[in-house]
Amino acid sequence: MGRPSMRGRIVEAALEQFHTLGYNAAGVKVITDAAGVPKGSFYNHFDSKETLAVEALRQYGDGLLDALHGDADPVARLRAHFEGLRDDCVGHDYRRGCLLGNFGAEIGDHSDVIRESVRQGFAHWSAALAATIEEAQQAGAVRADLDAATVAGFLLDAWEGTLIRARADRSSQPFDTFFATVFGPLLAAPDGSTRPDREQVLRPPDLIQR
């Protein structure tokens, strides 16, 4: 595979810098230095940092969905999807969350363009999750009485909150609770049986009793 174009290098660097530093701290020079290109070349490809952020968010959103595709069991794909996101957060010492959530919190109130890009990213993500849940329902692996779109939206909301808690606590416990709840009672098989996660993380007994 050939070397990425200058535009591609700028976008790759922006993804990394935005994710690590945030939108405001990742200035154009920081991004172009990381990309190894002259700062002046930035404006040959993007008319503003805001425009670059929209492209970075689009590429980030597309990359999120990779694990949801394939021939594996749909519930397994859902688990692999969230496990990959968890592993990325833990691998960065709980210092990096979801770029969509980060931008929504940091800049969404100050830029309608970025807020709309974040909204579209979440909508695209939610639709992909809903489609995978519907596959699982059609395969008889998940209860058919659940509304797939509603569950998908809940999963996104729960996941974004889980990331905030994990980063604040510098702990994997919020992830353990997420996986035990989602792949336990929430996405239970039609016969009522649940699926303990791969790491055999169980919900605390006091939570089960509530």
> Could you report the per-residue pLDDT of 154-172, keeping only the tens digit for each?
999 999 999 999 999 999 9
Nearest residue to 144 (alpha-carbon basis) of 134, 159, 158, 129: 134
Overall average pLDDT of the 85-94 stretch = 95
Q: Which fold has domain 71-209?
A: Tetracycline Repressor; domain 2 (1.10.357)
Integer Cα distance of 81 and 92 in angstroms = 17
pLDDT of residue 210: 30
Question: Does the pLDDT at position 98 exceed 80?
Answer: yes
Give residue limits of the domains in the chain. Answer: 71-209
CA atoms of 34 and 144, how far apart (whole Å): 48
pLDDT digits (tens, 9 = 90+) for 100-130: 999 999 987 899 999 999 999 999 999 999 9
Predicted local distance difference test score (pLDDT) of residue 1: 46
Amino acid at site 147: D
Look at residue 43 and tell me whether its pLDDT is greater than 50: yes
pLDDT tens figures, 4-42: 789 999 999 999 999 999 999 999 999 999 999 999 899
Which pTM was predicted?
Answer: 0.86
- Average of per-residue pLDDT across 45-59: 95
Confidence label for 206 from pLDDT (cuts 50, 70 and 90): very low
The average pLDDT across 172-184 equals 96
What pLDDT was estimated at residue 12? 95
DSSP state of 184: I
CB of 130 closer than 8 Å to CB of 152:
yes
